[in-house]
Structure 1
Amino acid sequence: MSRAIRGFSPRQYDGQPEMNYPDYRSTVLRHPKHRLVAVPQTLADVTGPAFGDMALGELDSDLIVNYASPGQSAIGERIIVHGRVVDEASRPVQHALIEVWQANAGGRYRHKNDSYLAPLDPNFGGCGRCVTDEDGHYQFRTIRPGPYPWPNGGNDWRPAHIHFSIFGSGFAQRLITQMYFEGDPHIHICPIAQSINDARAVDQLTARLDMANSVPMDLRSFRFDLVLRGPGSTMFENKLEGN
């Protein structure tokens, strides 16, 4: 699309990473070798299955205690992550299901294939979910994740990050991204983050310290807003061709 149509702004592709980015070794083998083909959605894709608000548990959005034994809590720096989900016109996206997953404070995931030497936290599962409210706002309580090494270039480390998945009106409508933390020095040397050739797009993936919404003597707060479409859209790793 070369111009705006009826108030919708064209997607800006300059900030999208190259499919084949040699510094991120996995892309060399995994990037598409042929032109992408758009597959039309069927009625089943766009109408269901639908997600019901009532399926959420009371502690689903509290990663500090949702996997912990009674009276226990996860180890690490306690934080709040919050923000809004909006469209290209800054209108709130209501009742959207958001799921998050992350490493623990030591940088290790609770997954059988994670062989990093950092210890597991028996009271931290590393995943949670919530639904945006009428204003498009969401909030999680969690532990700030640690950075971790990965077998890419011999001494590459991922910045501390939290993965986000946002569902639309059906499970076939899904956007995936990850959130970094303001001031993390690993952002500027991580091959995955640096595959994004637009500094503004990387900045949009970075949560800002938000002391106004912190809880004194308990939790610092970080704000991370998500824009679903338009030139100011957040970069979603499963929709590099545009949303």
Structure 2
Amino acid sequence: MTRRKLVAGNWKMHGSLAQLAELDAIAAAARANPAVDVAICPPFTLIGAAAARGDLAIGAQDCHQNLKGAHTGCVSAEMLKESGARLVIVGHSERRTDQRETNEEVCAKARAVIAVGLIAIVCVGETEAERDAGQAVAVVEAQLQGSIPAGARAAELVVAYEPVWAIGTGRTPTAADVAAMHAAIRAKLGGLLGAEADGVRILYGGSVKPSNAAELMAVANVDGALVGGASLTAADFVPIIEAAASV
């Protein structure tokens, strides 16, 4: 089936009110390439101001699994929705590593995101040691098994494959490696979600930049990209949007 490409930028712990000016050119590129969905996920502090700038989809980088409670420093999916977010990244490798998030916690967060009507971007990916040991597919399949909410529908779920060893390093897997992993993810989703799996978009993430975006976007089952550093400026991010529109 035909799936719309999605290019989502993850600003991580970068950005300021002044930097939101970059969104104007990004939004213009989104309007010029209507076949591609475009989103930016800035820090929590910028979501409201970013959403108020116009029609560009704005997301968040995490949320708590509960809608409310005594969870100092945490933000619920409902709060994010009220701030103007339309999607939420959960299970990013940096949170799985730095905050020791488990598959069960990621799944609970994804359920919370979906429950309030937002789109969950569930991240999966292996470390370099796991890939070198020949365990990459098994690791990713286990993450999907534990992190994807039962009964999730394609309209409310996106999967982002980010090999941990490629994030921010400038290294990327070969096109053949990406194709093999995305095919394995599609097959695993089929076992988990049945017919809905065909509509779930699978993004590639990990040192995506203007120079390699077109090659990556042309790979089978790559339905877009989750972009880190290259999403911080329109000069780098717009060519990735255009690459997605060209395939």
Higher share in strand: 1
The structure in which a higher percent of residues are helix is 2
| TM-score, structure 2 as length reference | 0.25
- TM-score norm. by structure 1 comes to 0.25
Higher relative contact order (CA 8 A, sep 6+): 1
